[in-house]
Structure formats: structure tokens, C-alpha cells
Amino acid sequence: MNSDVQIRIASPTCADAIADTLRAAFAEFESFYTPEAFAATVLPPEKIRERFDESGAIWTALKDGEFVGTVSAVPREGRLYIRSMAVVPSAQGLGIGRRLLETVENFAVENRFKNLFLYTVPFLDGAIRLYEQSGFKRGHPETEGFFGTSWFEMTKELRK
């Protein structure tokens, strides 16, 4: 694991950097999404700023002072929903995604959530592999609901 990477709770002043991180992380996959689904994945700074008004948290990963990753989590129906998980291509393979997931899981345990869930798309092989290695289980593929792009839910039950 890369010890020179810092995971920090984000603030609204980080919205531009978070938007840049999302765009960099998902740019190579843009052609696999419908335009609407890509827009819902790669949010503009103003939409990210709105998320700071929700309960939950947003984290950033910094390496050498540069934003290289992000993730957010928000309570939904008694579970903790993980969304907007991203690591820029130049920092992938350094264990940053794993550390971001561990940060969310620790937050979930501290706040007494019993399970985590997220949605992903079938073409994000590296992310899916990370989620499965971290104990997430796949749900059934869905073809409706994400602006014409196939997706599925992944869940993880938390231990007491």
C-alpha cells in the first residue's frame, strides 16, 4: 500500500478537483455510456457541491498534494450507498481504490450500518474486481434505469 497517499474528508472547496478526478477516471469509458449516463457519472462541480448538503460524507485521495481519487457515501433506506468512486488512471494500481473502500467501510461500521451497496456498469472490469475482492456480491444486471446503460447493484454485508 502506498503510504504517501492521504485520504481526507472533502469540503465544498474540493468540488472542482473532484469533478476533474471523475472526468479523468471515466474518460476512457465514455463511449460505453449513453451521453446521459456519462453525464450522471461525471458530475460538474455544482452538482458535487450540492452533495455536501446531504448526510453522509465525501472523501478525496491525495498523492504528492494532487487529487488522485474520490468516493462518497450517503444513507439510503437504512443502508450506506457508495457512489462516485474514482481513481485517476495514473494512480490506479497503487491501492488507492482499496483504501477509499476501507474508509467508507469504517465510516459505515462507526455509524452502525449493516450493509453497503453500490451500482456499477459491466465494462468497469478493474472496479468490479476490486469490489469482489473486497467482499461485494453482484446482483442481477439491469437494463432499465441508468439512462440506457446496463448496470447492476453490488452489496456487502458488514460484520459486527
Return the ∠ at Cα 59 (arms to 137 and 135), rounded to 5°: 15
Under 8 Å between Cβ of 69 and 60: yes
Predicted pLDDT at 26: 98
Looking at domain 5-157, its CATH class is alpha beta
Task: Specify the amino acid at residue 60.
Answer: T
Rounded Cα distance, 1 and 72, in Å: 21
Determine the average pLDDT of the residues in 40-60: 95
Determine the average pLDDT of the residues in 91-105: 96
Q: Is the pLDDT of residue 142 over 90?
A: no
Return the ∠ at Cα 96 (arms to 118 and 80), rounded to 5°: 25
pLDDT tens digit string along 54-76? 888 999 999 999 999 999 999 99
Can you give the residue ranges of every domain in the chain? 5-157
Strands 5-9 and 57-63 come out as antiparallel
Read off the pLDDT band of 141 (50, 70, 90).
confident
User: 78 or 31: which carries more pLDDT confidence?
Assistant: 31
| Residues of the chain above pLDDT 70, percent | 98
Under 8 Å between Cβ of 152 and 139: yes
Read off the pLDDT band of 160 (50, 70, 90).
low
List 66's β-bridge partners, or say none.
63
Determine the average pLDDT of the residues in 103-109: 96
The closest alpha carbon to 60, from 113, 1, 104, belongs to: 104
* C-beta neighbour count of 149 within 10 angstroms: 20
Q: Is the pLDDT of residue 89 over 60?
A: yes
Determine the average pLDDT of the residues in 21-46: 97
pLDDT tens digit string along 1-32? 456 899 999 999 999 999 999 999 999 999 99
